[in-house]
A and B are shown apart, each in its own frame.
Chain A
Amino acid sequence: MFFKILTPSKEDSSEATKEEDSSTQSRARLGMLKNKIPTPAYTFTTNSGALPGIISTNCPDISHLPMQLVLADIYHLQEIIEEYKKFLSESEEFKESEEVKPLMKYLNHSQDTISFLTMGIAGEEKVNGHPKDMRMEFIQKDSTTRFQNEDYIKAVKTFQPDLFMTPTHSITGKTSKKKRERAVKASREYITPDLVSNLPINEKSHMLMTISIEESYKMISPIIYEKIEEFSSSISGYFFNVDSLKAQTRYMIFNQFYEKYPEDTKLRVLESTGNPVNVLENLLLNGIDLFEARYPIDISERNLCLDIQTQMPEEWRNEETKEEFTSESLLSCVKKPKTLDLSDKAFRKDSTVLTEGSDCPATNSINRSYIYHLLDCNEMNATILLTLHNLEIYNKFFEAIRLNIESKNLPKYAEWFITTQCE
């Protein structure tokens, strides 16, 4: 089974009551993706198919994560992968095997994990020729690539991802209103019977329907519902392209969605940065299963290391929830997880181990003073070590989330996290 719910959210389960205390409200649920990946989880955003700035021999504990492959920066690989498939078919070792996923093998990602093909890099692609001759353009490192639906079909057939989305143009808070409106309309219009019937949707390869919403609309268009109904049997889940919305608007959108589909059991994926506060908001209020997340990489590139605990102390579980905290508090939360900028001179003599109690052999003997030294010398190893540290913490954060969903403590966990681990 592609996606199985193990523990439904309170709202979906028989435990939900109308008088539910808003401080304990939670739409979060536990699931299992392709019998391999426990959810909630995050997708590891690759850079041109590579783990950004790190090599997998240094970070074995990400092998279970879905690998997010961005079409815009692996588009150039199509021709190569077609040749690679021929090479594999002629190879003694692989020619009999139908199980090998060529793209994942080429990129040296685990065959056991899931590949998730997303579209572009927000702000680096555009839709042209709307509405008559609609096409997208990817601005790649060394070329500008234009494609239409048939090109997308070809790309999905070549790359054979486990999971992919219906085409869309990413939008961010900085995208102009006119472009956002165009992108939202385009993403609906891309989804045609011709597209869906030609995409390789089967037990190995699953499609998410992209739901793009524009802030000023503040609603899910009836057209989107029509598309969901029309292609329901082909859709394994939804990709919510709503990161540019205000939190309140996003919450409103999801309320509309769940009102329409109260018993939805399909996979819910969120376009996001993966900021932990944002993750908690979207778990509790919006019931997301899988998050795009560049957060650990992004903060490492800014010389920041996460300075948080991920395990809620026992005494916190029994504490009374503060009056001012409810799940909806997350809608207006401006706090960020605690981080340290290790390029600050204050760390020149700080011998504190980078990651206390780390299991990672690459980082468990490194201290802050050494990272400061590397940053001061512009040595690339600083970013590598920070990335490994931040990934380890981030993985533990998601483990803790799953444990607390299981023990029905997620709202309490969120309160603890926001109160004590953020600033």
Chain B
Amino acid sequence: MENSPLKVGDASAQESKKEEVKELVRMNISALQFKVLKQWGFARASLLTLPHGDVRTPVYMPVGTKGAMKGLLPKNMKDDIDCEIMLANTYHLFLKPGEEILDREGGLHKFAAWDKNYLTDSGGFQIVSLSDLNEVTEEGVTFESHIDKMKFLLTPERSMEVQNSIGADIMMALDDVVPPTITDADRLEEAMHRSVRWLDRCILAHKKPEVQNLFAIVQGGCDDDLRKICCDEMIKRNTPGYAIGGLAGGEDKEDFWRTVHTCTQLLPDDKPRYVMGIGYPVDILICSLLGADMYDCVYATRVARFGTVFTRNGEIKLRGSSNKNQFIPIDSKCQCYTCKNYTRSYLWQSFTRDSSCLQLLSLHNVYFLLDIIREFRQAILDENVEEYMTNFVTDYYITEKDGVPQWVKNALKAGGIDMS
């Protein structure tokens, strides 16, 4: 990656940039429409219209890291799972196949033969999590590629360039990512403010706002005051949508849901809200109850490759010998291809014998998450959210000694459902 120098210390240049940002904000260019069809408490059933089609929200977005879902083809995502939007990682795609190939092929949609929607992250999170060496300055993030140790500088401008080449329907601003468990309050605040400044640079650098939507990412750890400041600033930038970042990093569950709730109360009602890195079934539903609309996580496919699958009674490990003569599907209510055609017994014995089993488990897990989030959406439309959520969490934790965890009950209560 090349450097894209910005004289951050130059006051008049900064003032000029701010005016440019304000002008762009006033123009209010957006490549999406977001329509709330019905609301129950804070939860919304909505329709998000993007350049590559409609997306029913709330929605879980499966992650196809390098332009492919592991073991699942575009045909599976479309026909077997009915997925409307997927994630791709800018960091990985920048390294391989690279901008040159993506530009030449006309973007990731054509390259990967996926004709529905994509969302790309900025690359920031992967740099922090994958790269051995990374250093954050006001200019950007310097990192070493985990593949060949070459050094790069990722600036907001370069992130926009790469994401413009990828051509995703939604792009994420480059943010200063710090874990939510960080104890250095100054660093947390610094990261929040920097994320706002980098958002301005992203807005200026974004070349295709009429076909690609730039989402801002709210930071601030689990500090409500910082989150409020960040939300206020980002709302002023009037981006087509907003993400709640910096969570799902080991923080306490009470802090997790409370932070989501704080942010959803502050963010505009007429724009989609995306909680980044969330992929546990209950977490997705809780966040939706509290007013969020979009989620992503590699968890579903990652655990599938270790033989762990989702059911409405919690996760099960298919590798256990208790599954040997279980001639039932993974989940009795699931209508995915795997559950309609294969038994737990088959999957148990096939797991160590053929890679097709991994595909079947991944397909089930991704389908499951999309299925429950659509059930929740339908519950909003049918006005029986309370019944749905109560039944779901009761069944999900039925094998747990202590039943439904307290944090879940607390989150449900905040969302208008009392399970005490």
* B-side contacts of A362, CB under 8 Å: 73-75
Are A349 and B101 in contact, CB atoms less than 8 angstroms apart? yes
Does any Cβ of A come within 8 Å of B327's Cβ? yes
Does any Cβ of A come within 8 Å of B259's Cβ? no
* B-side contacts of A381, CB under 8 Å: 68-73
Are A73 and B353 in contact, CB atoms less than 8 angstroms apart? yes
Q: Residues of A with Cβ closer than 8 Å to B?
A: 47-55, 57-58, 73, 76-77, 80, 83-84, 87, 106-108, 141-142, 348-349, 351, 361-362, 365-367, 369-370, 373-374, 376-377, 379-381, 384-385
28 A-B contacts (beta carbon < 8 Å): A48-B349, A50-B354, A52-B356, A54-B359, A55-B356, A55-B360, A58-B73, A83-B327, A87-B325, A87-B327, A108-B346, A142-B352, A362-B74, A365-B74, A365-B113, A367-B105, A369-B101, A373-B67, A373-B96, A374-B66, A376-B96, A377-B92, A379-B66, A379-B70, A380-B355, A381-B69, A381-B71, A381-B72
4 pairs of A and B residues whose beta carbons are closest in the complex: A365-B113, A48-B353, A50-B354, A362-B75
Does any Cβ of A come within 8 Å of B350's Cβ? yes
Chain A proximity mask over B342-372: 1 for CB below 8 Å, otherwise 0: 1101100110111111111001000000000
Q: Knowing A365-B113, A379-B68, A380-B70, say if A48 contacts B350 (CB, 8 Å).
A: yes
Does any Cβ of A come within 8 Å of B337's Cβ? yes
Q: Knowing A55-B359, A370-B111, say if A377 contacts B66 (CB, 8 Å).
A: yes
Alpha-carbon distance between A377 and B92 when the two chains are bound, in angstroms: 10
Does any Cβ of A come within 8 Å of B255's Cβ? no
Are A84 and B345 in contact, CB atoms less than 8 angstroms apart? yes
Does any Cβ of A come within 8 Å of B80's Cβ? yes
* B-side contacts of A73, CB under 8 Å: 353
Query: Chain B nearest CB: distance from A297 CB in Å?
Result: 11
Alpha-carbon distance between A205 and B105 when the two chains are bound, in angstroms: 53
Residue of B with least CB distance to A48: B353
Alpha-carbon distance between A91 and B71 when the two chains are bound, in angstroms: 33
Query: Chain A nearest CB: distance from B77 CB in Å?
Result: 11
Alpha-carbon distance between A349 and B105 when the two chains are bound, in angstroms: 9
Chain A proximity mask over B200-211: 1 for CB below 8 Å, otherwise 0: 000000000000
Alpha-carbon distance between A76 and B76 when the two chains are bound, in angstroms: 30
Chain A proximity mask over B103-123: 1 for CB below 8 Å, otherwise 0: 011000001110000000000
Are A376 and B337 in contact, CB atoms less than 8 angstroms apart? no
Q: Knowing A48-B354, A57-B337, A362-B75, say if A80 contacts B325 (CB, 8 Å).
A: yes
Query: Chain A nearest CB: distance from B311 CB in Å?
Result: 20
Alpha-carbon distance between A266 and B71 when the two chains are bound, in angstroms: 42
Does any Cβ of A come within 8 Å of B402's Cβ? no
* A-side contacts of B324, CB under 8 Å: 80
Are B346 and A58 in contact, CB atoms less than 8 angstroms apart? no
Does any Cβ of A come within 8 Å of B341's Cβ? yes
Query: Chain B nearest CB: distance from A104 CB in Å?
Result: 12
* B-side contacts of A106, CB under 8 Å: 343, 345-346
Does any Cβ of A come within 8 Å of B268's Cβ? no
Are B66 and A58 in contact, CB atoms less than 8 angstroms apart? no
Query: Chain B nearest CB: distance from A46 CB in Å?
Result: 8
Residue of B with least CB distance to A374: B68
Are B97 and A376 in contact, CB atoms less than 8 angstroms apart? yes
Alpha-carbon distance between A373 and B76 when the two chains are bound, in angstroms: 20
Does any Cβ of A come within 8 Å of B79's Cβ? yes
Are B73 and A80 in contact, CB atoms less than 8 angstroms apart? no
Are B105 and A47 in contact, CB atoms less than 8 angstroms apart? no
Alpha-carbon distance between A385 and B69 when the two chains are bound, in angstroms: 13
Partner of A361 from the list B75, B105, B111, B337 (CB cut-off 8 Å) is: B75
Q: How many cross-chain pairs have Cβ atoms below 8 Å apart between A and B?
A: 111
* B-side contacts of A385, CB under 8 Å: 73
Query: Chain B nearest CB: distance from A107 CB in Å?
Result: 7
Query: Chain B nearest CB: distance from A362 CB in Å?
Result: 4
Query: Chain B nearest CB: distance from A175 CB in Å?
Result: 25
Residue of B with least CB distance to A382: B68
A365-B113, A381-B69, A381-B70 known; 5 new pairs, CB 8 Å cut-off, are A48-B349, A48-B353, A348-B101, A362-B73, A381-B68
Query: Chain A nearest CB: distance from B36 CB in Å?
Result: 34
Alpha-carbon distance between A349 and B104 when the two chains are bound, in angstroms: 8
Are B76 and A58 in contact, CB atoms less than 8 angstroms apart? yes
Are B349 and A76 in contact, CB atoms less than 8 angstroms apart? yes
Query: Chain A nearest CB: distance from B97 CB in Å?
Result: 4
* A-side contacts of B352, CB under 8 Å: 141-142
Partner of B349 from the list A80, A349, A384 (CB cut-off 8 Å) is: A80
Query: Chain A nearest CB: distance from B391 CB in Å?
Result: 27
Are B75 and A58 in contact, CB atoms less than 8 angstroms apart? yes
* B-side contacts of A51, CB under 8 Å: 356
Q: Knowing A57-B80, A361-B79, A380-B71, say if A373 contacts B97 (CB, 8 Å).
A: yes
Alpha-carbon distance between A76 and B321 when the two chains are bound, in angstroms: 13
Alpha-carbon distance between A55 and B327 when the two chains are bound, in angstroms: 19
Query: Chain B nearest CB: distance from A381 CB in Å?
Result: 5
* A-side contacts of B70, CB under 8 Å: 379-381
Alpha-carbon distance between A365 and B109 when the two chains are bound, in angstroms: 11
Chain A proximity mask over B44-68: 1 for CB below 8 Å, otherwise 0: 0000000000000000000000111
* A-side contacts of B76, CB under 8 Å: 57-58
* A-side contacts of B72, CB under 8 Å: 381
Residue of A with least CB distance to B354: A50
Are A54 and B356 in contact, CB atoms less than 8 angstroms apart? yes
Alpha-carbon distance between A348 and B74 when the two chains are bound, in angstroms: 21
* B-side contacts of A77, CB under 8 Å: 349
* B-side contacts of A76, CB under 8 Å: 349
* B-side contacts of A55, CB under 8 Å: 337, 356, 359-360, 363
Query: Chain A nearest CB: distance from B100 CB in Å?
Result: 8
Alpha-carbon distance between A47 and B343 when the two chains are bound, in angstroms: 18
* A-side contacts of B68, CB under 8 Å: 374, 379, 381
Alpha-carbon distance between A381 and B341 when the two chains are bound, in angstroms: 22
Alpha-carbon distance between A370 and B74 when the two chains are bound, in angstroms: 13
Query: Chain B nearest CB: distance from A35 CB in Å?
Result: 25
Query: Chain A nearest CB: distance from B361 CB in Å?
Result: 11
Partner of A384 from the list B71, B92, B341, B343 (CB cut-off 8 Å) is: B71
* A-side contacts of B75, CB under 8 Å: 58, 361-362
* B-side contacts of A349, CB under 8 Å: 101, 104
Alpha-carbon distance between A84 and B113 when the two chains are bound, in angstroms: 40
Query: Chain A nearest CB: distance from B99 CB in Å?
Result: 13
* B-side contacts of A52, CB under 8 Å: 354, 356
Alpha-carbon distance between A361 and B80 when the two chains are bound, in angstroms: 12
Alpha-carbon distance between A376 and B96 when the two chains are bound, in angstroms: 8
* A-side contacts of B354, CB under 8 Å: 47-48, 50, 52-53
Alpha-carbon distance between A50 and B351 when the two chains are bound, in angstroms: 11
Chain A proximity mask over B73-90: 1 for CB below 8 Å, otherwise 0: 111100110000000000
Alpha-carbon distance between A377 and B355 when the two chains are bound, in angstroms: 17
Q: By CB atoms of chain A within 10 A, which of B66, B68, B105 has the most?
A: B68
* B-side contacts of A49, CB under 8 Å: 350
Alpha-carbon distance between A142 and B101 when the two chains are bound, in angstroms: 44
* A-side contacts of B355, CB under 8 Å: 53, 380
